[in-house]
Amino acid sequence: MTNEFIHFDKISRETWQNLHRKVPAPLTAQELNSIKSFNDEINLQDVVEVYLPLTYLIQIYKRSKEDLAFSKGIFLQKNLKKRPFIIGISGSVAVGKSTTSRLLQILLSRTFEEAKVELVTTDGFLYPNALLEEEELLQRKGFPESYNMELLLDFLDHLKNGQNYQIPVYSHEIYDIVPNKTQKIEAADFVIVEGINVFQNPQNERLYMTDYFDFSIYVDAEVQNIETWYLDRFTKLLDLAKDNPDNYYHHFTQKPLEEVIDFARKVWQTINLVNLKNYIEPTRNRAELILHKAANHEIDEIYLKK
pLDDT tens-digit map of 111-130: 998 899 999 999 999 999 99
Q: Are the beta carbons of 155 and 161 closer than 8 angstroms?
A: no
Q: Which backbone phi and psi does 130 adopt, to 5 degrees? A: -60, -40
pLDDT at 37: 79
How do beta strands 117-121 and 190-194 pair? parallel
> Is 124 marked as binding a ligand?
no
> Is 92 marked as binding a ligand?
yes
> Is 96 marked as binding a ligand?
yes
Q: Are the beta carbons of 280 and 90 closer than 8 angstroms?
A: yes
> Is 142 marked as binding a ligand?
no
> Is 71 marked as binding a ligand?
no
HSE-CB at 11 with a 13 A cutoff on CA atoms is 22
To the question of pTM greater than 0.85 for the whole model, the response is yes
- pLDDT lower than 70: segments of the chain: 1-2, 202-205
CATH of the domain at 125: 3.40.50.300
Residue 77 Rama label (left phi>0; alpha psi -120 to 50; beta): left
Count how many domains the chain has.
1
The span from the CA of 269 to the CA of 134, in Å, is 24
Give the C-alpha distances (Å, rounded to integers) separating 121 from 88, 98, 101, 170, 250. Answer: 10, 8, 9, 9, 24
Residues in the chain: 306
Domain enclosing residue 127, as ranges = 3-305
pLDDT at 283: 93
Q: Which backbone phi and psi does 285 adopt, to 5 degrees? A: -80, 5
pLDDT tens-digit map of 133-167: 999 999 999 999 999 999 999 999 999 999 999 99
Q: Are the beta carbons of 125 and 167 closer than 8 angstroms?
A: yes
> Is 260 marked as binding a ligand?
no
pLDDT at 204: 58
pLDDT at 70: 92
